[in-house]
Amino acid sequence: MQKVYGIKDIMKIMPQRNPMLLLDRAQEIDEKNWVGVKNVSMDEAFFQGHFPGHPIMPGVLQLEAMKQLSELAVRSILDPAGAADVYLKEVNKVKFRRPANPGDRIKIETEILELEANIAKFKAKLSTSGGVASEAQITLAVRDKNAAPEAMPCLFNEFDKQDTDLMDISKVMDLMPHRFPFLLIDYVKSMEGEKIIAVKNVTANEPIFANDSELKTVPEAILCEIAAQSGCACVLARPENKGKIGYFMSIDKAESLAPVYPGDQLVIDLTLPESKSRFGKGGCIMRVDGKEVFRINLMFAIVDA
């Protein structure tokens, strides 16, 4: 029988900590397959903001749980010295099929498809007792965990908050049910035709950075959520969608190009064609001081509240 990894074992290997540690137990089934367990409890902080009165585990945290089990499976090979950040370089064909709610136990499964010295590819899925909740193709890679920003941020530029912005945080909150600690955009700068510009100012005080003393970068799964919330706010602002809510449905492809640090101003540039269907689909590029740091093609559904 293969070794069972309890929480102490997991924490010896993995850098994540509360509130971003999303594995409770794990086991290696064979040289290619691992299984993990995450119990979903109402006592978890993200349920305060996702959503008040209607708690749902965010789909991107399901993705992060799949990433973490995959990381656990190969960390000793990708980072034998414990000197690297094992990050989510790319995800493809992500499907969010059913919600996970307080009281659910989730089974996480991952299969190693390719494994080299500094990159690994997986096929993963997450299930509840009701069936498959989400699935993804995941690529992990390594980068220097001691890397730091190269320069001070460019302050007071064209993307800083102004009275002429399309939506301040109050207007965003009027449209969306997301609240602390899972409201991840600060304002919407503009919306012209199919093009949307939103902004997230990243600060070290956010709960996502309480997870470890060294890795102070925004998790790539959270960047996916930032893109989705930016598009969702703008679609819900359209008169025909008044009173509705948005659910993250899928990611065709997302790719991390550079880490995002506290102090960065994250500019979300989203192209979201108008559609008569209940689905919103678009492509997004995120930049910091003009440099591309993340790309994603995504889809969400607009449904009655």
Active site residues per annotation:
50
- The residue assigned the tokens 């979903």 is 40
Q: Which of 86, 147, 144, 83 is nearest to 119 (CA)?
A: 86
Cβ pair 225, 91 in contact under 8 A: no
Cβ pair 248, 60 in contact under 8 A: yes
Can you read off the two tokens belonging to residue 304?
């009655």
Enter the DSSP assignment of 44: S
Q: What are phi and psi of 82, to 5 degrees?
A: 70, 30
Using CA atoms, how far residue 235 sits from 36, 50, 81, 90, 190, in Å, is 36, 19, 46, 26, 13
Cβ pair 198, 173 in contact under 8 A: no
- Looking at the DSSP bridge assignments, the partners of residue 87 are 141
Cβ pair 299, 234 in contact under 8 A: no
